[in-house]
Chain A
Amino acid sequence: MADLNPLGSLRALIPDDEDRGQMILLAAFIIAISFVVLALVVNSAIFTENLATRDTVPASEDALEYRDEVSKSIGSILGTVNENTHKGPADAEASIEDIEIYGGIDQSMLGRVVSVSHEDTTAGVRIAQDEPREFTNRTGVQDWRLAEFVEQSRDIRFNLTQVDGPFTFVQEDGGEEWRLTVDDDGGDITVEVDPPNKDSRNCVASFTDSVVIDITRGTIGGQSCPALSQGSDGEQMWFGTGIGSSYNISFENGHEVTGTYSMMIRDDAGATVPAADEDFGDPPDEPYHTNNQAGIEAAVYSMTVTYEYHTPNVGYETEIVVAPGEVPS
């Protein structure tokens, strides 16, 4: 018979009624497990958030940064060696060994194993007129050819102090012809680039006492000139892009401008550059030079080095070809 005692409802808590409250106990147990699982999930999420805020693999960016530093350092070394007649390729190679040693020490302190070793040197010829005068050849001819059968050239710069009329710089391989014309424009100068298969484009730059036209970097007086780096359709290109691997370099109307110029020609692939004591008149012709300032000098066109960069998590080995001022092919 049912217990009518008012305390009857509390009997469930008394051990005699052991089978009471089992469901609540089970439910509590299941919910407790759910909370434990939820805690694990939240913990996992916190770990992920932590991972998300971490940087990329340590030193993975530095592999390219140090590569760029090495490339720029060797570029400066080549510039120094080429500008200084007392220095030659052997000096450049010795400097690369220094980069290997001292740069390697610096990097090893950061826990990286870095190696830079000289692989190859490509000879070149620097053709230049270092004294301001007209852009005619040694004997005063205004239309003349500076080099023939050129495979690669770089670092072509004109420093003009006077522009009287249209002067044209030409690269042609017998079929395609690139023309760059500098002309006076009533106080300013215009630089017009005429590619072989596209419409010509031009830039206008102010001209006071002098202006530097850096053809391979695409600048006039330090300012970017789109005509030197883009085609008429906006596509990226550089003066001479797509020209054959054996082309000629000429000046036309060299008497119209005054100033200095310099360029570097690769000299290991059959290029014909004038010898210092060559007879005048037949191309390639000699630039003007004095005894102190040679118009043609042996130089280093490019250097190839092997670059190796290793950390516990990153490995990178490649060759770097250093040719400052070379346009992308």
Chain B
Amino acid sequence: MTRTERHSGETNHGPSAQRAESGTASFGAIRATTIALNYVLVLGISTLLVTGLIIAGGTFVEDQRSNVVQGELNVVGTHLAGNLEQVDRYAKAGNGDSVAYINQTFQRQVSGESYQVELVPNTGEPEPPQVVLTPNSGDVTVQINTTVQSDIEASTARGGTISIYYEDDSLVIGND
């Protein structure tokens, strides 16, 4: 017989096994309490960690989404401001009544949100005329300043194919 078997045999029939068999309840109660406490602690700490992870992850995703919406509106607005200035050049280079328009197709939604584009005339110095883009929800607003010589009519368009045209001596935005 090997030494290990002997030791094993001693464990099964040794003093501790005898104590368990003797029916002393104190050891069992202590063990059960430890396991319950352990269980609660593990559950509590892991809940805390997982909740923290979810909150941090959710905030991160929301921040990224907000940044991306702002970035997208910025890009769309810059393109629209470029088109606005181009139509203004058309109108100013023309002689008398001119027909001038530029249509451009953008995405209907930015990061899953639809948006509005608004032309804001130069109501008072020093605010220049602006292209203002606002998503339907959220508090992100993007304003792009423009430099035009023609008058600007306060008008709005929604995402999609956006047309900037010259009508009655002023620049107007609308959907095609």
Contacts of B90 in A (CB 8 A): 63-64, 316, 318
Interface residues of A in 1-53 (CB under 8 A from B): 1-2, 4, 23-24, 27, 30-31, 34, 37-38, 40-42, 44-45, 47-48, 51-52
User: At the interface, is chain B mostly helix, strand, loop or mixed?
Assistant: helix
Tell yes or no: A176 within 8 A of B by CB: no
Contacts of B106 in A (CB 8 A): 51
Given A41-B64, A319-B94, does the pair A56, B86 have CB atoms closer than 8 Å? yes
Which of the listed residues B31, B58, B61, B83 has the most CB atoms from chain A within 10 Å of its own CB?
A: B61
Q: Would B100 and A24 count as touching, CB distance under 8 A?
A: no
Contacts of B89 in A (CB 8 A): 64
Q: Would B99 and A318 count as touching, CB distance under 8 A?
A: yes
Bound CA–CA A312/B104 (angstroms): 10
Q: Would B35 and A315 count as touching, CB distance under 8 A?
A: no
Q: Would B61 and A37 count as touching, CB distance under 8 A?
A: yes
Bound CA–CA A321/B103 (angstroms): 27
Given A2-B35, A56-B79, does the pair A319, B64 have CB atoms closer than 8 Å? no
Bound CA–CA A48/B109 (angstroms): 11
Contacts of A2 in B (CB 8 A): 31-32, 35-36
Tell yes or no: B40 within 8 A of A by CB: no
A30's partner among B32, B54, B101 (CB-CB below 8 A) is: B54
Given A23-B46, A34-B61, A64-B89, does the pair A315, B101 have CB atoms closer than 8 Å? yes
Q: Would B93 and A38 count as touching, CB distance under 8 A?
A: no
Q: Would A23 and B98 count as touching, CB distance under 8 A?
A: no
B93's partner among A1, A64, A317 (CB-CB below 8 A) is: A64
Tell yes or no: A60 within 8 A of B by CB: yes
B interface residues, Cβ below 8 angstroms from A: 28, 31-32, 35-36, 43, 46-47, 50, 53-54, 57-58, 60-61, 64-65, 68, 71-72, 75-76, 78-79, 82-83, 86, 89-90, 93-104, 106-107, 110-112
Given A56-B83, A64-B89, A313-B103, does the pair A319, B50 have CB atoms closer than 8 Å? no
Bound CA–CA A42/B111 (angstroms): 9
Q: Would B57 and A319 count as touching, CB distance under 8 A?
A: no
Q: A23-B46, A24-B46, A317-B98 are in contact. List 19 more A-B contacts (CB 8 A).
A: A4-B31, A38-B60, A38-B64, A40-B111, A41-B61, A41-B111, A44-B110, A52-B78, A56-B86, A57-B104, A60-B83, A60-B102, A63-B90, A64-B90, A67-B93, A313-B102, A313-B104, A318-B95, A321-B95
Bound CA–CA A44/B82 (angstroms): 22
Minimum CB distance partner of B50 in chain A: A27
- Write the nearest CB–CB distance from B164 to chain A, whole angstroms: 10
Q: Would A45 and B71 count as touching, CB distance under 8 A?
A: yes
Contacts of B107 in A (CB 8 A): 47, 51
Name 25 A/B residue pairs within 8 A (Cβ), A-sorted.
A1-B32, A2-B31, A23-B43, A31-B57, A38-B60, A40-B112, A41-B65, A48-B71, A48-B72, A56-B79, A56-B83, A57-B102, A57-B104, A60-B83, A60-B86, A313-B103, A314-B103, A315-B99, A315-B101, A316-B94, A316-B98, A316-B99, A316-B100, A317-B98, A318-B100
